[in-house]
């Protein structure tokens, strides 16, 4: 096995990553104990599929959780060898159930809820991305989430009814997971499986992120054995991330507010933004033309986020 590298979305709030798919792979890699070099990427534009995570082992590049699990299994690394046939089938069924019932609610909370998007999601992803990608990607992801919700619940014309329905389905899913876990350490005995990595990746952001509208997060926090499950996995596998987060918080409190530091660094920040915009813009344009993606960027010109980009630049000046 070559030196494995894993490109991911950055972490926040004591999480190793803000992204479900990245957390799945990270957690699974921790479970099996394969050494991996983790890199926080600020621009997914040049990845094989324009998405994260990306796991690289030599010339091989894997772009989703299922591919990673299958590839590592082919190298005799797996957390699922202890599952019998019945348990493997049950894990597969539960995974599909989560995808159908919890994932839409997760997408709604992150991207469709306007308050959460404006105050939490968009700033978080903007912080994780370089200029000008921090204006392009959040609106792109929000559009995709809205299209998914519309496809699933298009018969509801009232957004409040859609929210009520999607969160109700998610609450039932969480109850099912809670019943299955019971007082066990993991879902299938005393050893973790890929399913445990999946559940953790869904629940940890809901438990950790400070949602302004926290309906779905409250459902998670209200189920004791699921919150203990999240805390156990986080403590055993990502304690260094939590410790660093707490250390940084303590440092911020002792050295003054974030706004004071930003004010002191304003001239350098403005210069860096301009230079980053120039180089990133040239790179993005060249790649987009080469891959037939220029039309997406042309459509982006007509969005509010595109206008905001220039308004924010004007404010900086």
Name the CA radius of gyration of the chain, rounded: 21
What is the residue-averaged pLDDT of the chain? 85
User: What is the spatial distance between Cα 280 and Cα 286, in angstroms, rounded to a whole number?
Assistant: 10
Residue 156 confidence (pLDDT): 63
234, 197 Cβ separation under 8 angstroms: no
Contacts of residue 203, defined as CB under 8 A and 6 or more positions apart, other chains included, come to 220, 226, 229, 230
Q: Say if strands 4-8 and 60-62 run parallel, antiparallel, or are unpaired.
A: unpaired
Q: Say if strands 36-40 and 54-57 run parallel, antiparallel, or are unpaired.
A: unpaired
pLDDT over 80 at 304, yes or no:
no
Which CATH number applies to 4-247? 1.20.1050.130
pLDDT over 90 at 279, yes or no:
no
The answer to pTM > 0.75 is yes
Residue 311 confidence (pLDDT): 47
Structure tokens at 234: 């986080």
pLDDT over 60 at 289, yes or no:
no
Residue 19 confidence (pLDDT): 96
Contacts of residue 245, defined as CB under 8 A and 6 or more positions apart, other chains included, come to 11, 13, 14
Residue 154 confidence (pLDDT): 80
pLDDT tens for each residue of 115-131: 999 999 999 999 999 88
pLDDT over 60 at 86, yes or no:
yes
Q: How far is CA 141 from CA 138, 145, 148, in A?
A: 5, 6, 11
pLDDT over 70 at 275, yes or no:
no
Closest CA relative to residue 167, chosen from 119, 211, 224 = 211
- Cα–Cα–Cα angle for 37, 39, 41, rounded to 5 degrees: 160
Residue 224 confidence (pLDDT): 98
Closest CA relative to residue 185, chosen from 236, 220, 219, 240 = 236
23, 204 Cβ separation under 8 angstroms: yes
pLDDT over 70 at 273, yes or no:
no
Residue 88 confidence (pLDDT): 96
pLDDT tens for each residue of 22-73: 999 999 999 999 989 999 999 898 899 999 999 999 989 999 999 999 999 9
Strand partners, 7: 39, 54
Residue 297 confidence (pLDDT): 47
- In this prediction, residues 244-264 reach a mean pLDDT of 68
Neighbours of 161 (CB within 10 A): 12
Closest CA relative to residue 59, chosen from 130, 4, 129 = 4
> Which segments of 32-75 are extended strands (E)?
36-40, 54-57, 60-62
Residue 244 confidence (pLDDT): 87
pLDDT over 80 at 314, yes or no:
no
59, 91 Cβ separation under 8 angstroms: no
Q: How far is CA 206 from CA 3, 191, 195, 222, 227, in A?
A: 32, 24, 17, 12, 10
Closest CA relative to residue 201, chosen from 29, 36, 57 = 29
- In this prediction, residues 90-97 reach a mean pLDDT of 97
- The sign of the dihedral angle between the CA atoms of 69, 71, 72, 73 is positive
pLDDT over 70 at 143, yes or no:
yes
Burial 41-60 (b: 16+ CB within 10 A, else e): bebbbeeeeeebbbbbbeee
pLDDT over 60 at 282, yes or no:
no
pLDDT bucket at 155, cuts 50 / 70 / 90: low
Residue 83 confidence (pLDDT): 95
pLDDT tens for each residue of 2-21: 689 999 999 999 999 999 99
pLDDT bucket at 303, cuts 50 / 70 / 90: low
User: What is the spatial distance between Cα 9 and Cα 11, in angstroms, rounded to a whole number?
Assistant: 7
pLDDT tens for each residue of 181-213: 999 999 998 999 999 999 999 999 999 999 999
User: What is the spatial distance between Cα 80 and Cα 313, in angstroms, rounded to a whole number?
Assistant: 50
pLDDT over 50 at 264, yes or no:
no
Residue 212 confidence (pLDDT): 97
pLDDT bucket at 298, cuts 50 / 70 / 90: very low
* Domain boundaries defined on the chain: 4-247
């Amino acid at each position: 096995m070559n030196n494995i590298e894993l490109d991911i979305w950055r972490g926040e709030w004591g999480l190793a990553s803000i992204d479900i798919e990245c957390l799945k792979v990270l957690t699974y890699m921790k479970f099996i104990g394969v050494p991996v070099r983790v890199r926080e990427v600020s621009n997914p534009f040049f990845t094989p599929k324009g998405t994260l995570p990306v796991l690289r082992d030599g010339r091989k590049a894997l772009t989703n959780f299922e591919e990673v699990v299958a590839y590592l299994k082919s190298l005799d690394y797996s957390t699922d060898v202890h599952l019998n046939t019945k348990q493997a089938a049950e894990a597969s069924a539960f995974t599909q159930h989560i995808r159908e019932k919890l994932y839409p609610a997760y997408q709604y909370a992150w991207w469709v809820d306007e308050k959460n998007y404006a105050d939490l999601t968009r700033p978080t992803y903007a912080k994780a991305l370089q200029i000008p990608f921090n204006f392009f990607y959040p609106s792109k992801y929000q559009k995709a989430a809205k299209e998914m919700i519309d496809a699933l619940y298009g018969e509801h014309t009232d957004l409040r009814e859609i929210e009520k329905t999607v969160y109700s389905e998610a609450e039932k899913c969480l109850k099912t997971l809670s019943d299955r876990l019971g007082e066990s350490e993991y879902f299938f005995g005393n050893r973790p499986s890929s399913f445990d990595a999946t559940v953790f990746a869904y629940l940890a952001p809901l438990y950790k992120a400070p949602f302004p509208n926290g309906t779905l997060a409250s459902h998670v926090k209200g189920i004791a054995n699921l919150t203990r499950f999240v805390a156990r996995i986080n403590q055993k596998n990502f304690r260094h991330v939590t410790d660093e987060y707490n250390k940084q918080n303590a440092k911020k409190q002792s050295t003054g507010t974030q706004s004071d530091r930003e004010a002191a660094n304003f001239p350098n920040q403005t210069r860096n933004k301009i230079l980053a915009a120039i180089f990133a813009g040239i790179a993005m344009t060249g790649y987009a033309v080469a891959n037939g993606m220029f039309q997406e960027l042309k459509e982006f010109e007509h969005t509010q986020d595109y206008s905001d980009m220039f308004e924010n630049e004007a404010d900086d000046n």
